[in-house]
A and B are shown apart, each in its own frame.
Chain A
Amino acid sequence: MTGNYAIEARGLRKAFGDLTVLDSVDLRVESGTMLGVLGPNGAGKTTCVRILSTLLGADGGTATIAGHDVMKEPRAVRRVIGLTGQDTAVDELLTGEENLVMMGQLYRLGRSASQKRAVELLDQFGLTDAARRPVKTYSGGMRRRLDLAVSLINSPPVLFLDEPTTGLDPTSRMAMWETIRRLMAAGTTVLLTTQYLEEADQLADRVAVIDGGRVVAEGTADELKRKVGSERVELTFGEADLARARALFDGEHVGMQTLSMPIEGPSDVRDLLNRAASQNLDVKGFALHEPTLDDVFRTLTGAGPRTGATTAADTDGAATGAGAAVGAGATTGETA
C-alpha cells in the first residue's frame, strides 16, 4: 500500500466479450478528498466503480481500497466502503427506517446500534417525518437521500457515488450536493462519477476524465480548464460588417454574427475593440467566455468543442477534428 491513497487503481482492464470497457485505467484518491470521474455514457465509469466496490472482477490490473486488495480481500473492502449506485437500491415495501435498520443489522452492528444510527441518519437526511412510510410512497429525491443514508449506515471511510444526482430535479440536486459536502467535511474519501460537469466542478478536489475506457486527463478542475484553452472574448458584429470583421480578426465564427478570440488579459480586449473601432466596425455585442469543464469534456471526449480548443486534438484527433469543423481555419488558445 502506498501512503495516503484511500483508493488506488493501476492498469484496470475489463472486457465483455469483444467489447473493451476499461483499457488500463489508473486512478488515485487521497484520503479525505473527492475524485470526480467524468465521462459520457458508456465511458466505463460504472464498470470502474463496480470493480472497486467488489461487484465485478477485473481482467487485469490491481486495486486497493484503504490498503485492501479488492480482488483478494473483498470482505475487508466491503467493510470499509459504501456505494450509492445509479438505481436506488432500497426495499420499496419496507419503510425508510426498516431499510436502515435492516442494512445496519446486515453490517452486523446489532439491533440497538442499528436503530440508533438509523434515527441519526433519518434526521440528518430530513427523512424523520417519512421514516415510518413505505419507500414506494417516497419522491425521487427522498429515495436518493434514503439510498445515500443507507450507504452510510456503517459510517464507511470510503464512499462511491455513482451518478448520485442523475434524474433529480435542480432543488434535490442542490440538496444532495450539500449533503455530499457535509460528508466531505467529516473526512470521508469519495469517488464520484457524473456526467454533469458542474457537479464535478462544484464538489471534486480532482477530476479524472474518462473516455473509451481510458483516463484521458486528470487534475484539478482549474488545471483541466487551463489545459483546454485560455479565456476568450466573443464579439458580435452587425450583419453588414461581418465579412470585414472576419477578415480583420483571426477569430472563430461561433454564432450567427459572433466571432470568438482568445485573450491573455484585459489589454487584449482593449486592443480588439480599438482595432474594430479603427475600421468602423459596429460591435453590437460583447461577452467574456471562461473555459469551463464543458469545454474540457467536449474536447477530451471527442464530443466536439463548442468554442475553439483544438489544442487537445492530439489526444483524440479524429473525433475532435470532426467536431471542430464549424470553426474551420480557426486558431485557438495556446496551452502551456
Chain B
Amino acid sequence: MNQAVAPKARPEFVLAAGDCLVLIRRSLRHLTRNMDEVIQSVVLPIMLLLLFRYLFGGAIQTGGPSYVNYVIAGVLVVSIAFSASATAVGVANDLQNGIVERFRTMPMFSSAMLVGHVVSAVLRNVLAVTLVVLVGLLVGFRPSASLGDWLVACGLLLLFITAISWLATLLGLLAGGVEAASGYAMILVFFPYASSALVPSESMPSVLRAFVENQPFTPIVNAVRGLLIGTPTGNSVWLSVVWWVPVLVLTMAFTVRYFRRHTGK
C-alpha cells in the first residue's frame, strides 16, 4: 500500500495562513482571468458618477456644496454595495461547481476559501474606489481634505468594503445558486439608495427620513463626505465605526461558522 505524502510539521495557524495565501492567490488569478468582471466592477461606478454628475446634478439641491462634490461619497458607497453581487456570485459559483466539496475532503483550513473571496473582493473595490475618485477629479470634484482626513476616510471605506464583502460572501453561501446569490446581493443596493448618498435626507418625507437617518449606510456616507469636502461630520465617524465594526465581526464569525457546519450543497 502506498503512503500518503506526509505534510511538513508546522504549527496549525501557520499552515492555516498558508492555505489562505494559496486561495487568495487563486482568487486574484480569477480577477486577472475574468476581465469582464473587473471591467464591470470599474465601469459601473464610473457610469454612476457621470450619470449623477451630469443627469441629475442640475436638478438636485444639496443646500451647500456643488452636486459633484456632494455625490462622490454617495457614488462610492452605492458602488461598493453593487459589487456585493459579484462577490456573492463568485462564492455561489464555487459551491455549485463542486470545488468546495473537494476542499472539504482535504485536510486544509476550510475557511481559507472564504478569505480568498473576501480579499479579492476588497481589492476589486479598492480599484473601483480609486478610479471613481480620479474620474471625479476630472469632472469637478474638489476635495478639501487634509492628509489625516484622507486617512480616516480611507480607513472607514476599507472597513465598510470588508464588512460588505463578508456579508456578500455569506449571501453567496446562503443562496441556493448563482442567480439567487445575485438577487439577494442586489437587496444591499437598496440601502444606499435609501440613505443620504444621493440626496439630502432633509428633502424626504418624514417616515422615509426617519429610516434614512437611522440606517447604517447614512453615517458612512456622511462621514466620508464630510472628511473629503468639509461638510459637518457630526457624530457620523464614530457612528460608522459603531455600526460597521460589529457588522464585520459578527458577519465574519457567522459566515465561518456556517461554512464549517454545513456541507457544500
Q: Identify the A interface with B (CB < 8 A).
A: 6, 31-32, 50, 53-56, 75, 78-83, 85, 87-94, 98, 102-103, 105-110, 113, 117, 134, 150, 154-157, 186-189
From the candidates A78, A93, A106, name the one contacting B22 in the complex (CB within 8 A).
Answer: A106
Contact in complex: A157, B3 (CB < 8 Å): yes
| Distance, CA A102 to CA B20, complexed state (A) | 11
Contact in complex: A80, B4 (CB < 8 Å): yes
Contact in complex: B106, A78 (CB < 8 Å): yes
Given A83-B105, A102-B22, A108-B8, A31-B99 contact (CB < 8 Å):
no
| Chain A positions within 8 Å of B33 at CB level | 93-94, 134
Contact in complex: A78, B107 (CB < 8 Å): yes
From the candidates A6, A78, A90, A92, name the one contacting B105 in the complex (CB within 8 A).
Answer: A78
| Distance, CA A236 to CA B33, complexed state (A) | 63
Distance of A17 from chain B, by nearest CB (Å): 16
Given A91-B26, A92-B97, A108-B15, A188-B106 contact (CB < 8 Å):
no
Contact in complex: B105, A53 (CB < 8 Å): yes
| Distance, CA A89 to CA B5, complexed state (A) | 21
| Chain B positions within 8 Å of A154 at CB level | 4-5
Distance of A285 from chain B, by nearest CB (Å): 48
Contact in complex: A107, B7 (CB < 8 Å): yes
Q: How many residues of B contact A (CB 8 A)?
A: 33
| Distance, CA A80 to CA B29, complexed state (A) | 29
| Distance, CA A17 to CA B2, complexed state (A) | 40
| Distance, CA A50 to CA B265, complexed state (A) | 12
Given A93-B29, A108-B8, A83-B3 contact (CB < 8 Å):
no
Contact in complex: A106, B108 (CB < 8 Å): yes
Contact in complex: A108, B18 (CB < 8 Å): yes
| Distance, CA A102 to CA B33, complexed state (A) | 16
Contact in complex: A56, B30 (CB < 8 Å): no
Point out which of A54, A89, A105 has the most chain B C-beta atoms below 10 A from its C-beta: A89
| Chain B positions within 8 Å of A110 at CB level | 8
Contact in complex: A107, B5 (CB < 8 Å): yes
Which residue of A is nearest B112, CB measured?
A: A106
| Distance, CA A332 to CA B35, complexed state (A) | 66
| Chain A positions within 8 Å of B108 at CB level | 106-108
- Is B104 part of the contact surface with A, judged by Cβ < 8 Å? yes
Given A55-B101, A105-B18, A106-B22, A155-B1 contact (CB < 8 Å):
no
Top 10 closest A-B pairs, CB basis? A87-B98, A108-B7, A89-B102, A89-B98, A78-B107, A93-B33, A106-B108, A105-B22, A83-B105, A79-B107
Which residue of A is nearest B15, CB measured?
A: A108
Apart from A87-B98, A98-B29, A186-B2, 19 more pairs, CB < 8 Å: A6-B1, A53-B105, A55-B105, A78-B105, A78-B107, A89-B98, A89-B102, A90-B99, A90-B102, A106-B23, A107-B5, A108-B7, A108-B107, A109-B7, A113-B5, A154-B5, A155-B3, A187-B1, A188-B1
Could you list 25 A-B pairs, sorted by A, with CB under 8 Å?
A53-B105, A55-B104, A78-B105, A79-B7, A82-B105, A85-B98, A85-B101, A85-B102, A87-B97, A93-B34, A98-B29, A102-B26, A103-B106, A105-B22, A106-B103, A106-B112, A107-B108, A108-B10, A110-B8, A113-B5, A117-B5, A134-B33, A150-B102, A157-B2, A186-B2
Interface flags for B104-116 (1: CB within 8 Å of A; 0: not) read 1111100010000
| Chain B positions within 8 Å of A108 at CB level | 7-8, 10, 15, 18, 107-108
Distance of A204 from chain B, by nearest CB (Å): 18
| Chain A positions within 8 Å of B1 at CB level | 6, 31-32, 157, 187-189
| Distance, CA A188 to CA B4, complexed state (A) | 11
Contact in complex: B98, A79 (CB < 8 Å): no
From the candidates B19, B29, B263, name the one contacting A56 in the complex (CB within 8 A).
Answer: B263
Contact in complex: A83, B26 (CB < 8 Å): no
Given A87-B98, A108-B15, A109-B7, A55-B264 contact (CB < 8 Å):
yes
| Distance, CA A156 to CA B112, complexed state (A) | 22
Contact in complex: A106, B99 (CB < 8 Å): no
From the candidates B26, B29, B97, name the one contacting A89 in the complex (CB within 8 A).
Answer: B97
CB-contacts of B115-143 with A (<8 A): none
Given A85-B98, A92-B97, A54-B8 contact (CB < 8 Å):
no
Distance of B59 from chain A, by nearest CB (Å): 43
| Chain A positions within 8 Å of B30 at CB level | 93
| Distance, CA A6 to CA B4, complexed state (A) | 13
Contact in complex: B2, A188 (CB < 8 Å): yes
Contact in complex: B264, A157 (CB < 8 Å): no
Distance of A121 from chain B, by nearest CB (Å): 13
| Distance, CA A108 to CA B8, complexed state (A) | 7
Contact in complex: B26, A79 (CB < 8 Å): no
| Chain A positions within 8 Å of B106 at CB level | 78, 103, 106-107
Distance of B88 from chain A, by nearest CB (Å): 17
Contact in complex: A107, B107 (CB < 8 Å): yes
Contact in complex: A83, B2 (CB < 8 Å): no
| Chain B positions within 8 Å of A31 at CB level | 1
| Distance, CA A56 to CA B101, complexed state (A) | 10
| Chain A positions within 8 Å of B34 at CB level | 93
Which residue of B is nearest A57, CB measured?
A: B263
| Chain B positions within 8 Å of A53 at CB level | 105
| Distance, CA A332 to CA B244, complexed state (A) | 75
| Chain B positions within 8 Å of A117 at CB level | 5
Distance of B114 from chain A, by nearest CB (Å): 14
| Chain B positions within 8 Å of A92 at CB level | 97
